[in-house]
Structure 1
Amino acid sequence: MQILTTAAGLQAYTERARQTGKRVGLVPTMGALHAGHLQLVRAARADCDEVIASLFVNPTQFNSAEDFRLYPRLPEADAALLAPVGCTALFVPSVDEIYPRPTVLRFDFGALEQVMEGAHRPGHFNGVATVVSKLFHLARPHRAYFGQKDWQQVAVIRQLVADLSFDLEIVACPTIREADGLAMSSRNLRLDAEARAVAPLLHRVLVAAAAEVRQGILPAQVRASAASALASEPLVTPEYFEVADAQTLQPLSEYAAGRDVVLCLAAHLGGVRLIDNVVVAA
Structure 2
Amino acid sequence: MTTTRTPATSGPGVARTPGELRSALAGAGRLALVPTMGALHEGHRSLMRLARAEADTVVVSVFVNPLQFGPGEDLDRYPRDLPGDVRQCAEEGVDVVFAPDTATMYPREQMITVDAGTMGERLEGASRPGHFTGVLTVVAKLFHLVRPDLAVFGEKDAQQIALVRRMTADLNLPVRIVGAPLLRDPDGLAASSRNAYLSARERESALALPRALSAGRAAADRGPDAVRAAARAVLDGAARAIPPIALDYLALVDTATFDEVGADHTGQACLAVAARVGSTRLIDNVTVRLAAADIGGTPEGDSS
Fold match, TM over 0.5? yes
2:113 aligned partner: 106
Question: Does 1:279 find its partner at 2:287?
Answer: yes
Superposed CA offset, 1:31-83 (max 9, x none): 11111100111111111010000110000101144500111111111111111
- Is 2:145 aligned against 1:170? no
Once the two structures are TM-superposed, the CA of residue 231 in structure 1 deviates from its matched residue by 2.3
Deviation track 1:125-162 (CA, whole Å, cap 9, x = no partner) reads: 01001110110000000010000000000011011111
- 1:222 positional shift: 4.6
Q: Matched residues in 1 for 2:73 and 2:252: separation?
A: 30
Q: Which of 43, 59, 62 is the aligned partner of 2:66?
A: 59
Report the CA distance shift for 1:114/1:226 in structure 2 as closer, same or farther (over 3 A). farther
Q: Which amino acid aligns with 2:14?
A: I
Q: Which has the higher contact order (CA 8 A, sep 6+)?
A: 1
Aligned residue in 1 for 2:21:
10
- Show the 5 A alignment for 1:166-205: 166-205=173-212
Give the alignment of 1:1-282 within 5 angstroms. 1-14=12-25, 16-18=26-28, 22-216=29-223, 218=225, 221-222=229-230, 224-234=232-242, 235-257=244-266, 259-282=267-290
Higher helix share: 1
Deviates more, 1:147-156 or 1:245-254: 245-254
Pick closer, same or farther for the CA change 1:133–1:194 going to 2, 3 Å: same
For the residues of structure 2 that align with 1:278 and 1:13, how far apart are their CA atoms?
38
Identity of aligned residues (%): 40
Separation of aligned partners in 1, 2:232 and 2:84: 42
- The 8 Å contact of residues 60 and 128 in structure 1, kept in 2 or not, is answered as yes
Q: Equivalents in 2 of 1:208, 1:66: separation in Å? A: 30
Which whole-Å CA distance do the structure 2 matches of 1:189 and 1:224 have between them?
26
Moved over 6 A (4+): none
Number of residue pairs the alignment of both structures matches: 277
Contact 2:155 2:161 in 1 (8 A): yes
Superposition deviation, residue 92 in structure 1: 0.8
Deviations 1:163-196 (A, max 9, x none): 1111110000001101111000000111112111
Distance of 1:229 and 1:115 partners within structure 2? 25
Normalising by structure 1, report the TM-score.
Answer: 0.93
1:31–1:78 Cα contact (<8 Å) kept: yes
CA distance in 1, matches of 2:93, 2:261: 41
Letter in 2 for 1:211: A
1:220 deviates by 5.7
- More divergent stretch after superposition (246-255 vs 260-269): 246-255
Q: Answer whether contact 2:162 2:256 (CA < 8 A) is retained.
A: yes
Shift of 1:230: 3.7
Q: TM-score, normalised by structure 2?
A: 0.87
Amino acid at match of 1:17: G
Unmatched 5+ stretches in structure 1: none
Provide the residue aligned with 2:302 in structure 1: none
Say what the alpha-carbon RMSD is for the aligned residues: 1.6
Alpha carbons 1:51, 1:88 under 8 Å: kept: yes
- The answer on whether the counterparts of 1:176 and 1:183 sit within 8 Å (CA) in structure 2 is yes
Structure 2, gaps ≥5 residues long = 1-11, 291-304
**Partners of 1:46 and 1:153 in 2: CA distance:** 23
Say if 1:205 and 1:229, in contact at 8 Å, map to a contact too. no
Aligned partners of 1:267, 1:23: CA distance in 2, in Å? 39
Whether the 8 Å CA contact 1:60–1:124 is kept in 2: the answer is yes
3-state SS of the aligned residue for 2:109? coil
